Structure 1
Amino acid sequence: MSMNERWVDRSPETMLDTFHWFRGEGFRFIVDDLLHWSDDTGVIVEGFRLLPQLVAPLLTERRRGVWLLPSPGFRRAAFDKRGWEIPGKTGDPDRAARNLLERDRLFTERLREENARLGLPVLDVDTVSEHDLTETVGRMLGLGGSGSEDEERRGCEGEG
Protein backbone atom coordinates (compact mmCIF):
# COMPACT_ATOMS: atom_id res chain seq x y z
CA MET A 1 0.00 0.00 0.00
CA SER A 2 1.02 3.56 -0.52
CA MET A 3 1.30 5.85 2.51
CA ASN A 4 -2.03 7.48 1.55
CA GLU A 5 -3.74 4.10 1.18
CA ARG A 6 -2.41 3.00 4.59
CA TRP A 7 -2.87 6.16 6.70
CA VAL A 8 -5.32 8.49 4.91
CA ASP A 9 -7.79 6.41 2.90
CA ARG A 10 -8.56 3.68 5.46
CA SER A 11 -10.65 4.15 8.57
CA PRO A 12 -9.00 3.94 12.00
CA GLU A 13 -11.15 0.86 12.68
CA THR A 14 -9.75 -0.90 9.62
CA MET A 15 -6.23 0.14 10.60
CA LEU A 16 -6.76 -1.40 14.04
CA ASP A 17 -8.28 -4.62 12.73
CA THR A 18 -5.52 -5.20 10.19
CA PHE A 19 -2.44 -4.21 12.21
CA HIS A 20 -0.67 -7.53 12.76
CA TRP A 21 1.06 -6.54 16.00
CA PHE A 22 -2.32 -5.72 17.55
CA ARG A 23 -3.34 -9.30 16.77
CA GLY A 24 -0.50 -11.04 18.58
CA GLU A 25 1.99 -11.54 15.76
CA GLY A 26 5.50 -11.77 17.12
CA PHE A 27 4.43 -12.54 20.71
CA ARG A 28 6.02 -15.98 20.71
CA PHE A 29 9.41 -14.41 19.91
CA ILE A 30 9.15 -12.27 23.04
CA VAL A 31 8.36 -15.35 25.12
CA ASP A 32 11.26 -17.24 23.54
CA ASP A 33 13.63 -14.40 24.48
CA LEU A 34 12.33 -14.32 28.05
CA LEU A 35 12.78 -18.06 28.51
CA HIS A 36 16.54 -17.53 28.22
CA TRP A 37 16.64 -15.35 31.35
CA SER A 38 17.47 -17.04 34.63
CA ASP A 39 14.65 -17.63 37.10
CA ASP A 40 16.20 -15.31 39.68
CA THR A 41 16.40 -12.32 37.35
CA GLY A 42 13.54 -9.86 37.36
CA VAL A 43 12.49 -8.61 33.95
CA ILE A 44 10.08 -5.87 32.97
CA VAL A 45 8.75 -6.24 29.44
CA GLU A 46 6.79 -3.56 27.65
CA GLY A 47 5.22 -3.06 24.28
CA PHE A 48 1.93 -3.19 22.46
CA ARG A 49 2.52 -6.79 21.38
CA LEU A 50 1.90 -7.88 24.98
CA LEU A 51 -1.81 -8.41 24.63
CA PRO A 52 -3.64 -9.26 27.87
CA GLN A 53 -5.15 -12.49 26.55
CA LEU A 54 -1.67 -13.71 25.56
CA VAL A 55 0.13 -12.64 28.72
CA ALA A 56 -2.49 -13.67 31.31
CA PRO A 57 -1.87 -17.44 31.05
CA LEU A 58 1.85 -16.84 31.65
CA LEU A 59 1.50 -14.77 34.83
CA THR A 60 2.07 -16.56 38.13
CA GLU A 61 0.07 -13.78 39.82
CA ARG A 62 -2.31 -11.29 38.23
CA ARG A 63 -0.51 -8.39 39.93
CA ARG A 64 2.69 -9.29 38.05
CA GLY A 65 1.39 -7.53 34.96
CA VAL A 66 0.17 -3.98 34.53
CA TRP A 67 -0.92 -2.30 31.31
CA LEU A 68 -0.25 1.41 30.89
CA LEU A 69 -3.17 3.00 29.06
CA PRO A 70 -2.30 6.42 27.63
CA SER A 71 -4.89 9.15 27.40
CA PRO A 72 -5.39 10.62 23.92
CA GLY A 73 -3.62 13.79 25.11
CA PHE A 74 -0.66 11.84 26.40
CA ARG A 75 -0.41 9.91 23.13
CA ARG A 76 -0.55 13.13 21.10
CA ALA A 77 2.13 14.73 23.28
CA ALA A 78 4.34 11.67 22.81
CA PHE A 79 4.00 11.89 19.03
CA ASP A 80 4.64 15.63 19.07
CA LYS A 81 7.76 15.15 21.21
CA ARG A 82 9.19 12.40 19.00
CA GLY A 83 8.16 13.95 15.72
CA TRP A 84 5.53 12.83 13.26
CA GLU A 85 7.19 10.90 10.45
CA ILE A 86 4.22 8.94 9.11
CA PRO A 87 1.72 11.77 8.57
CA GLY A 88 4.34 13.90 6.84
CA LYS A 89 4.83 11.18 4.22
CA THR A 90 1.20 11.35 3.10
CA GLY A 91 -0.78 13.75 0.93
CA ASP A 92 -2.94 14.76 3.93
CA PRO A 93 -0.81 14.89 7.09
CA ASP A 94 -3.63 16.23 9.28
CA ARG A 95 -6.00 13.41 8.38
CA ALA A 96 -3.24 10.79 8.69
CA ALA A 97 -2.41 12.07 12.19
CA ARG A 98 -6.09 12.02 13.22
CA ASN A 99 -6.47 8.49 11.85
CA LEU A 100 -3.36 7.27 13.63
CA LEU A 101 -4.39 8.81 16.95
CA GLU A 102 -7.90 7.39 16.64
CA ARG A 103 -6.54 3.94 15.82
CA ASP A 104 -4.39 4.11 18.95
CA ARG A 105 -7.34 5.31 21.05
CA LEU A 106 -9.40 2.36 19.83
CA PHE A 107 -6.55 0.00 20.67
CA THR A 108 -6.30 1.47 24.17
CA GLU A 109 -10.03 0.93 24.71
CA ARG A 110 -9.71 -2.65 23.46
CA LEU A 111 -6.94 -3.21 26.02
CA ARG A 112 -9.06 -1.65 28.79
CA GLU A 113 -11.97 -3.98 28.01
CA GLU A 114 -9.77 -7.06 27.74
CA ASN A 115 -7.96 -6.31 31.00
CA ALA A 116 -11.27 -5.79 32.79
CA ARG A 117 -12.58 -9.09 31.46
CA LEU A 118 -9.43 -10.90 32.60
CA GLY A 119 -9.11 -9.07 35.93
CA LEU A 120 -5.70 -7.62 35.07
CA PRO A 121 -4.50 -4.26 36.40
CA VAL A 122 -4.31 -1.14 34.28
CA LEU A 123 -2.84 2.26 34.95
CA ASP A 124 -4.30 5.27 33.19
CA VAL A 125 -1.46 7.55 32.15
CA ASP A 126 -1.94 11.19 31.39
CA THR A 127 0.59 13.87 32.20
CA VAL A 128 3.09 12.40 34.64
CA SER A 129 6.83 12.50 35.17
CA GLU A 130 8.90 9.46 34.28
CA HIS A 131 10.01 9.21 37.92
CA ASP A 132 6.44 9.19 39.27
CA LEU A 133 5.31 6.68 36.66
CA THR A 134 8.26 4.41 37.41
CA GLU A 135 7.54 4.56 41.14
CA THR A 136 3.86 3.79 40.67
CA VAL A 137 4.44 0.89 38.31
CA GLY A 138 7.06 -0.50 40.68
CA ARG A 139 4.61 -0.41 43.58
CA MET A 140 1.87 -2.02 41.50
CA LEU A 141 4.24 -4.84 40.56
CA GLY A 142 5.27 -5.29 44.17
CA LEU A 143 8.80 -4.02 43.60
CA GLY A 144 8.82 -1.59 46.51
CA GLY A 145 7.10 1.46 47.88
CA SER A 146 3.84 1.58 49.73
CA GLY A 147 0.29 2.69 49.28
CA SER A 148 -2.90 1.17 48.02
CA GLU A 149 -3.54 0.42 44.38
CA ASP A 150 -6.24 3.13 44.31
CA GLU A 151 -3.76 5.68 45.66
CA GLU A 152 -1.23 4.60 43.06
CA ARG A 153 -3.71 5.03 40.22
CA ARG A 154 -4.70 8.48 41.39
CA GLY A 155 -1.02 9.39 41.61
CA CYS A 156 -0.59 9.08 37.84
CA GLU A 157 -3.69 10.87 36.69
CA GLY A 158 -3.57 14.55 36.02
CA GLU A 159 -0.11 15.26 37.42
CA GLY A 160 2.25 17.26 35.48
Structure 2
Amino acid sequence: MDPRALRARLRHVYWIGGGSGGGKSTIARRLAARHGLSVYATDDVMPEHARLLTPREAPQLSRFKDMDMDERWVHRSPRAMLETFHWYRGEGFGLIVADLLRLPPGRGVIAEGFRLLPGLVGPLLVDPARAVWLLPTPAFRRAAFDSRGTAWDIPRRTGDPRRALHNLLERDRLFTDRLAEETGRLGLPAVEVGPGTGEDELAERVARVFGLC
Protein backbone atom coordinates (compact mmCIF):
# COMPACT_ATOMS: atom_id res chain seq x y z
CA MET A 1 0.00 0.00 0.00
CA ASP A 2 1.18 3.51 -0.79
CA PRO A 3 2.69 5.09 2.39
CA ARG A 4 0.40 8.10 2.22
CA ALA A 5 -2.64 5.88 1.81
CA LEU A 6 -1.51 3.74 4.75
CA ARG A 7 -1.09 6.78 6.97
CA ALA A 8 -4.56 7.95 5.98
CA ARG A 9 -6.03 4.52 6.81
CA LEU A 10 -4.41 4.66 10.26
CA ARG A 11 -5.13 8.29 11.08
CA HIS A 12 -7.70 7.23 13.73
CA VAL A 13 -5.01 5.34 15.69
CA TYR A 14 -3.23 6.69 18.77
CA TRP A 15 -0.04 4.82 19.67
CA ILE A 16 1.41 4.26 23.17
CA GLY A 17 4.74 2.44 23.20
CA GLY A 18 7.46 2.25 25.81
CA GLY A 19 9.41 0.13 28.22
CA SER A 20 7.94 -2.65 30.31
CA GLY A 21 6.27 -1.50 33.51
CA GLY A 22 5.74 2.05 32.26
CA GLY A 23 1.95 2.10 32.53
CA LYS A 24 1.03 1.71 28.86
CA SER A 25 -1.96 -0.57 29.40
CA THR A 26 -3.31 1.39 32.35
CA ILE A 27 -3.11 4.74 30.58
CA ALA A 28 -4.57 3.34 27.36
CA ARG A 29 -7.59 1.97 29.22
CA ARG A 30 -8.12 5.19 31.15
CA LEU A 31 -7.98 7.41 28.10
CA ALA A 32 -10.13 5.05 26.06
CA ALA A 33 -12.85 5.05 28.71
CA ARG A 34 -12.69 8.82 29.09
CA HIS A 35 -12.75 9.67 25.38
CA GLY A 36 -14.84 6.91 23.85
CA LEU A 37 -11.96 5.07 22.19
CA SER A 38 -11.23 1.37 21.86
CA VAL A 39 -7.98 -0.34 22.87
CA TYR A 40 -5.78 -2.67 20.85
CA ALA A 41 -3.34 -4.34 23.24
CA THR A 42 -0.40 -5.82 21.35
CA ASP A 43 0.49 -8.07 24.32
CA ASP A 44 -2.85 -9.85 23.91
CA VAL A 45 -2.11 -10.92 20.34
CA MET A 46 1.51 -11.99 20.86
CA PRO A 47 0.72 -15.73 21.13
CA GLU A 48 -1.36 -15.66 17.94
CA HIS A 49 1.25 -13.63 16.06
CA ALA A 50 4.01 -15.97 17.23
CA ARG A 51 1.97 -18.91 15.91
CA LEU A 52 1.45 -17.27 12.51
CA LEU A 53 5.04 -16.20 11.86
CA THR A 54 7.26 -18.58 9.93
CA PRO A 55 11.00 -19.06 10.68
CA ARG A 56 11.79 -17.18 7.49
CA GLU A 57 9.62 -14.23 8.52
CA ALA A 58 10.85 -14.23 12.14
CA PRO A 59 14.27 -15.91 12.49
CA GLN A 60 14.93 -14.49 15.96
CA LEU A 61 11.57 -15.76 17.20
CA SER A 62 12.39 -19.19 15.80
CA ARG A 63 15.71 -19.26 17.66
CA PHE A 64 14.02 -18.07 20.85
CA LYS A 65 11.47 -20.88 20.67
CA ASP A 66 14.30 -23.42 20.44
CA MET A 67 15.95 -22.21 23.67
CA ASP A 68 15.16 -23.54 27.13
CA MET A 69 14.44 -21.08 29.95
CA ASP A 70 18.04 -20.92 31.18
CA GLU A 71 19.33 -20.30 27.67
CA ARG A 72 16.85 -17.46 27.30
CA TRP A 73 17.26 -15.71 30.63
CA VAL A 74 20.31 -16.95 32.55
CA HIS A 75 23.22 -17.83 30.26
CA ARG A 76 23.16 -14.79 27.96
CA SER A 77 24.12 -11.22 28.76
CA PRO A 78 21.39 -8.56 28.97
CA ARG A 79 22.93 -6.90 25.92
CA ALA A 80 22.67 -10.12 23.91
CA MET A 81 19.10 -10.56 25.10
CA LEU A 82 18.30 -7.02 23.93
CA GLU A 83 19.85 -7.43 20.50
CA THR A 84 18.24 -10.77 19.71
CA PHE A 85 14.75 -10.47 21.25
CA HIS A 86 12.38 -10.91 18.33
CA TRP A 87 9.78 -8.32 19.30
CA TYR A 88 12.51 -5.71 19.86
CA ARG A 89 13.70 -6.44 16.32
CA GLY A 90 10.26 -5.62 14.93
CA GLU A 91 9.39 -9.18 13.93
CA GLY A 92 5.63 -9.46 13.51
CA PHE A 93 5.00 -5.71 13.35
CA GLY A 94 3.27 -6.15 10.01
CA LEU A 95 0.66 -8.33 11.74
CA ILE A 96 -0.07 -5.47 14.16
CA VAL A 97 -0.67 -3.13 11.23
CA ALA A 98 -2.88 -5.72 9.52
CA ASP A 99 -4.96 -6.11 12.69
CA LEU A 100 -5.43 -2.35 12.97
CA LEU A 101 -6.48 -2.07 9.33
CA ARG A 102 -9.22 -4.62 9.97
CA LEU A 103 -10.75 -2.56 12.79
CA PRO A 104 -13.72 -0.28 12.01
CA PRO A 105 -12.25 3.06 10.86
CA GLY A 106 -15.02 5.19 12.30
CA ARG A 107 -13.92 4.92 15.93
CA GLY A 108 -10.60 6.01 17.38
CA VAL A 109 -8.37 3.31 18.82
CA ILE A 110 -5.38 3.35 21.15
CA ALA A 111 -2.77 0.77 20.20
CA GLU A 112 -0.44 0.03 23.10
CA GLY A 113 2.53 -2.18 23.87
CA PHE A 114 6.30 -2.43 23.90
CA ARG A 115 6.27 -3.87 20.34
CA LEU A 116 5.44 -0.40 18.98
CA LEU A 117 8.96 0.67 18.10
CA PRO A 118 9.57 4.34 17.16
CA GLY A 119 11.27 3.54 13.87
CA LEU A 120 8.32 1.40 12.77
CA VAL A 121 5.48 3.58 14.05
CA GLY A 122 6.95 6.91 12.94
CA PRO A 123 6.38 6.40 9.18
CA LEU A 124 2.71 5.55 9.87
CA LEU A 125 1.88 8.81 11.64
CA VAL A 126 -0.09 11.62 10.06
CA ASP A 127 1.07 13.72 13.01
CA PRO A 128 3.89 12.95 15.49
CA ALA A 129 1.50 13.90 18.30
CA ARG A 130 -0.51 10.75 17.57
CA ALA A 131 2.12 8.67 19.36
CA VAL A 132 3.98 8.72 22.66
CA TRP A 133 6.52 6.46 24.35
CA LEU A 134 6.53 5.97 28.12
CA LEU A 135 10.05 5.61 29.51
CA PRO A 136 10.04 4.14 33.04
CA THR A 137 13.07 4.60 35.26
CA PRO A 138 14.55 1.37 36.68
CA ALA A 139 13.11 2.18 40.12
CA PHE A 140 9.63 2.76 38.72
CA ARG A 141 9.78 -0.44 36.67
CA ARG A 142 10.83 -2.60 39.61
CA ALA A 143 8.16 -1.06 41.83
CA ALA A 144 5.53 -1.69 39.14
CA PHE A 145 6.53 -5.35 38.77
CA ASP A 146 6.59 -5.83 42.54
CA SER A 147 3.14 -4.25 42.94
CA ARG A 148 1.72 -6.55 40.27
CA GLY A 149 3.41 -9.59 41.78
CA THR A 150 4.90 -10.46 38.39
CA ALA A 151 8.60 -9.76 38.96
CA TRP A 152 9.43 -13.44 39.52
CA ASP A 153 7.02 -15.00 36.98
CA ILE A 154 9.76 -15.77 34.46
CA PRO A 155 12.80 -16.02 36.77
CA ARG A 156 11.26 -18.67 39.01
CA ARG A 157 11.00 -20.97 35.99
CA THR A 158 14.80 -20.93 35.53
CA GLY A 159 17.63 -22.66 37.36
CA ASP A 160 18.94 -19.34 38.73
CA PRO A 161 16.01 -17.02 39.48
CA ARG A 162 18.09 -14.17 40.92
CA ARG A 163 20.38 -14.06 37.91
CA ALA A 164 17.44 -14.28 35.54
CA LEU A 165 15.68 -11.38 37.28
CA HIS A 166 18.82 -9.27 37.13
CA ASN A 167 19.21 -10.02 33.42
CA LEU A 168 15.58 -9.22 32.65
CA LEU A 169 15.62 -5.91 34.51
CA GLU A 170 18.90 -4.89 32.90
CA ARG A 171 17.65 -5.86 29.44
CA ASP A 172 14.52 -3.77 30.00
CA ARG A 173 16.66 -0.83 31.13
CA LEU A 174 18.74 -1.07 27.98
CA PHE A 175 15.58 -1.26 25.87
CA THR A 176 14.15 1.85 27.51
CA ASP A 177 17.42 3.69 26.95
CA ARG A 178 17.22 2.72 23.29
CA LEU A 179 13.66 4.02 23.06
CA ALA A 180 14.76 7.33 24.58
CA GLU A 181 17.53 7.66 22.01
CA GLU A 182 15.28 6.72 19.08
CA THR A 183 12.39 9.00 20.01
CA GLY A 184 14.83 11.86 20.48
CA ARG A 185 16.53 11.24 17.15
CA LEU A 186 13.22 10.91 15.29
CA GLY A 187 11.54 13.86 17.02
CA LEU A 188 8.77 11.73 18.53
CA PRO A 189 7.09 12.43 21.90
CA ALA A 190 8.31 10.58 24.98
CA VAL A 191 7.47 10.87 28.67
CA GLU A 192 9.79 9.75 31.46
CA VAL A 193 7.94 7.88 34.21
CA GLY A 194 9.70 7.97 37.54
CA PRO A 195 8.98 7.35 41.22
CA GLY A 196 6.14 9.55 42.37
CA THR A 197 4.48 9.70 38.95
CA GLY A 198 0.81 8.96 39.59
CA GLU A 199 -1.70 7.54 37.15
CA ASP A 200 -3.72 10.76 37.04
CA GLU A 201 -0.64 12.82 36.20
CA LEU A 202 0.58 10.37 33.58
CA ALA A 203 -2.85 10.09 31.94
CA GLU A 204 -3.05 13.87 31.78
CA ARG A 205 0.39 14.18 30.21
CA VAL A 206 -0.41 11.59 27.54
CA ALA A 207 -3.79 13.19 26.86
CA ARG A 208 -2.04 16.51 26.30
CA VAL A 209 0.36 14.93 23.82
CA PHE A 210 -2.61 13.48 21.93
CA GLY A 211 -4.55 16.73 22.04
CA LEU A 212 -7.42 15.08 23.90
CA CYS A 213 -7.69 17.79 26.54
Provide TM-score, normalisation by structure 2. Answer: 0.64
Q: Deviations over 1:7-38 (max 9, x none)?
A: 11100011011100001112111111211234
Corresponding residue SS for 2:178: helix
- How much does 1:58 deviate? 0.6
| Equivalent residue, structure 1, for 2:9 | none
Distance (whole Å) between structure 1 residues aligned to residue 70 and residue 132 of structure 2: 35
Count of residues in Structure 1 that have an aligned counterpart in Structure 2: 144
Which stretch shifts more, 83-92 or 106-115?
A: 83-92
| Equivalent residue, structure 2, for 1:43 | 109
- How much does 1:41 deviate? 1.8
Distance (whole Å) between structure 2 residues aligned to residue 50 and residue 66 of structure 1: 10
| Equivalent residue, structure 1, for 2:166 | 98
* Runs of 4+ in structure 1 over 3 Å off: 37-40
Residue 202 of structure 2 corresponds to residue 123 of structure 1: no
Q: More strand by proportion, 1 or 2?
A: 2
What does 1:8-157 correspond to in 2, within 5 Å? 8-82=74-148, 83=150, 84-127=152-195, 128-144=197-213
Q: Deviations over 1:28-86 (max 9, x none)?
A: 11111211234442211111111101000110011111100111111111221222211
Distance (whole Å) between structure 1 residues aligned to residue 125 and residue 101 of structure 2: 13
The alignment-based identity, stated in percent, is 63
Distance (whole Å) between structure 1 residues aligned to residue 78 and residue 178 of structure 2: 13
- How much does 1:132 deviate? 2.0
- How much does 1:110 deviate? 0.8
Distance (whole Å) between structure 2 residues aligned to residue 116 and residue 97 of structure 1: 29
State the Cα RMSD in Å. 1.3
| Equivalent residue, structure 2, for 1:148 | none
| Equivalent residue, structure 2, for 1:155 | none
Provide TM-score, normalisation by structure 1. Answer: 0.85
Distance (whole Å) between structure 1 residues aligned to residue 89 and residue 159 of structure 2: 28
- How much does 1:129 deviate? 2.1
Q: Which structure would you say has the larger RCO, counting Cα contacts within 8 Å and 6 or more residues apart? A: 2
Identify unmatched segments of 5+ residues in structure 2.
1-66
